[in-house]
């Protein structure tokens, strides 16, 4: 079948390991279903995979794509939840130490077909297109969990989103606005800040700029480049919710500030199946839909990868069949 995949780990030049070609069809084990993919979105995770981060070397070649929407053999339209847990695990699936995300162990969604456990498909809301629904399973789910499960923010409080135009950032802006937060955003260019305003940000700032006042919570996916600003931006007793470190981890955590201001640093990863179901309902109830900056045929996937690597995003990058 057609697939977009990583041939081998390529730490310094991820695009060099990207292939568009043919791979064997996935085999659905007992209790699994096969989904004909209609759309899937690009996540930074796919660039990490090409670099060999978060995947064992013997798992290459690996079909990329950590989320998607498509159609089951019986015609049911579905959204994928891509956290694949151990069937014996009984707790919350993001805490299962043996869990994997699609593309870490099992082949991903940038292909004609993908196989997942039956519990990892949810009905696609009729109000979302396949391309919009494809954005929900990774970036939007991560944003939903950071904001509604981890942050403890109440409507009316102020949140700062580091980064304006990325998948997780644009989701945080739209979700925060819809939930009644005061949404502040940093963005690296005027265009990116304008996009944040369009999506509902109440105010935008250049990266690292001094803010009018400290915020109740900061939402971090950037890491080293914005971490010192995040530590200065949060009010005493406030929280920094972290789900990524695109620019690298920061070894100087500013511990003195952390304990003196009694800050809370909260890690967050993906979300549960139930949270994905709630996210889909929330989007319908609040009338919000994902910002798609670029929609490309899956055969043109390298164009999307190159744009993300260059930081040229304006919301989600989506590949369709
Ligand atoms: N833990 C999880 O479950 C999980 C899930 C999803 C994503 N993530 C992580 O979250 C991060 C973002 O993923 P994504 O898919 O949203 O990526 P993306 O769409 O490429 O977005 C990247 C974002 O990072 C910002 N950024 C990058 N470098 C920056 C720098 N040097 N200074 C300031 N801002 C910078 C960009 O800000 P501008 O808009 O200003 O350019 C943009 O908003 C990745 O590290 C990813 O691995 C983790």
pLDDT tens for each residue of the chain, 321 residues long: 999 999 999 999 999 999 999 999 999 999 999 999 999 999 999 999 999 999 999 999 999 999 999 999 999 999 999 999 998 999 999 999 999 999 999 999 999 999 999 999 999 999 999 999 999 999 999 999 999 999 999 999 999 999 999 999 999 999 999 999 999 999 999 999 999 999 999 999 999 999 999 999 999 999 999 999 999 999 999 999 999 999 998 777 788 888 989 999 999 999 999 999 999 999 999 999 999 999 999 999 999 999 999 999 999 999 999
**Please, are residues 208 and 229 in contact by the beta-carbon 8 Å criterion?**
yes
> CA-to-CA distance for 125 and 116, rounded, in angstroms?
19
The finding on whether 143 has its CB within 6 A of some atom of ligand 1 is no
DSSP codes of every residue in 169-197: HHHHHHHHHHTT-EEEEEESSHHHHHHHH
Look up tokens 């060099």; give the residue. Answer: 16
What is the gyration radius of the CA atoms in the chain, in angstroms? 19
DSSP for residue 254: -
Give pLDDT tens digits for 212-240: 999 999 999 999 999 999 999 999 999 99
Cβ distance 260 to 234 under 8 Å? no
Q: Is 221 exposed, middle or buried (0-12, 13-18, 19+ CB in 10 A)?
A: buried
The answer to whether 194 and 254 have CB atoms below 8 angstroms apart is no
For ligand 1, atom 22: residue with the closest CA? 166
Task: Report the nearest-CA residue for atom 25 of ligand 1.
Answer: 163
List, in order of start, the domains of the chain with CATH numbers. 2-135 (3.90.180.10), 139-267 (3.40.50.720)
- CB of residue 42 inside a 6 A radius of ligand 1: no
CA distance 120 to 82: 7
Three-state SS at 95: helix
Q: For residue 112, which phi and psi values (nearest 5 degrees)?
A: -65, -40
Q: Is the CB of 151 under 6 A from ligand 1?
A: no
Contact between 319 and 40 (Cβ < 8 Å): yes
Task: Determine if ligand 1 sits within 6 Å of the CB of residue 169.
Answer: yes
Whole-number pLDDT of residue 302: 98
pTM for the whole thing? 0.98
Residue 164 in contact with residue 184, Cβ under 8 Å? Answer: no
Mutate to test the pocket of ligand 1, among 44, 82, 146 (most ligand atoms within 8 A of CB): 44
Distance 244 CA to ligand 1 centre (A): 7
Alpha helix (H) residue ranges in the chain: 44-51, 130-134, 141-144, 167-178, 190-199, 227-233, 255-260, 273-286, 301-309
Q: What pLDDT does 24 receive?
A: 97
Burial 172-210, CB ≥16 within 10 A → b, else e: bbbbbbbbebbbbbbbbeeebbbbbbebbbbebbebeee
Contacts of 67 (CB under 8 A, 6+ apart): 40, 41, 43, 80, 82, 102, 109, 134, 135, 136, 137, 138, 139
Q: Which of 51, 108, 166, 272 to mutate to test the pocket of ligand 1 (most atoms within 8 A of CB)?
A: 166
Question: How far separated are the first and last CA of the chain, in Å rounded?
Answer: 13
Testing ligand 1's pocket by substitution, the residue of 93, 163, 194 carrying the most ligand atoms inside 8 A of its CB is: 163
The whole-angstrom separation of Cα 235 and Cα 216 is 6
Q: Answer yes or no: are the C-beta atoms of 140 and 289 closer than 8 Å.
A: no
Q: Is 129 in the pocket of ligand 1 (CB under 6 A)?
A: no
């Amino acid at each position: 079948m057609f697939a977009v995949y990583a041939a081998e780990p390529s730490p310094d030049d991820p695009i060099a390991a990207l292939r568009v070609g043919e791979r064997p069809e996935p085999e659905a084990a007992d209790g699994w279903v096969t989904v004909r993919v209609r759309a899937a979105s690009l996540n930074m995770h796919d660039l990490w995979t090409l670099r060999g981060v978060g995947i064992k070397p013997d798992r290459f070649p690996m079909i990329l794509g950590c989320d998607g929407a498509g159609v089951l053999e019986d015609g049911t339209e579905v959204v994928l939840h891509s956290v694949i847990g151990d069937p014996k695990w009984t707790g919350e699936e993001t805490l299962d130490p043996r869990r994997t995300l699609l593309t870490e162990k099992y082949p991903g969604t940038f292909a004609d077909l993908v196989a997942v456990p039956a519990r990892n498909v949810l009905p696609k809301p009729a109000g979302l297109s396949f391309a919009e629904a494809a954005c929900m399973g990774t970036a939007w789910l991560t944003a939903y969990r950071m904001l509604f499960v981890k942050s403890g923010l109440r409507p009316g409080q102020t949140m700062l989103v580091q980064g304006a135009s990325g998948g997780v950032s644009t989701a945080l802006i739209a979700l925060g606005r819809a939930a009644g937060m005061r949404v502040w955003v940093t963005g690296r260019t005027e265009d990116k800040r304008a996009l944040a305003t369009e999506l509902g940000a109440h105010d935008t700032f250049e990266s690292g700029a001094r803010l009018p006042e400290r915020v109740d919570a900061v939402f971090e996916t950037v890491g080293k480049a914005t971490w010192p600003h995040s530590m200065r931006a949060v009010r005493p007793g406030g929280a920094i919710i972290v789900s990524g470190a695109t620019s690298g981890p920061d070894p100087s955590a500013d511990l003195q500030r952390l304990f003196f201001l009694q800050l809370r640093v909260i890690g967050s990863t993906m979300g549960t199946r139930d949270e994905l179901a709630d996210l889909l309902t929330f989007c319908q109830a609040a009338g919000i839909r994902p910002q798609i900056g670029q929609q490309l045929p899956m055969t043109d996937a390298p164009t999307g990868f190159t744009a993300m690597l260059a930081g040229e995003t304006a919301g989600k990058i989506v590949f369709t069949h």
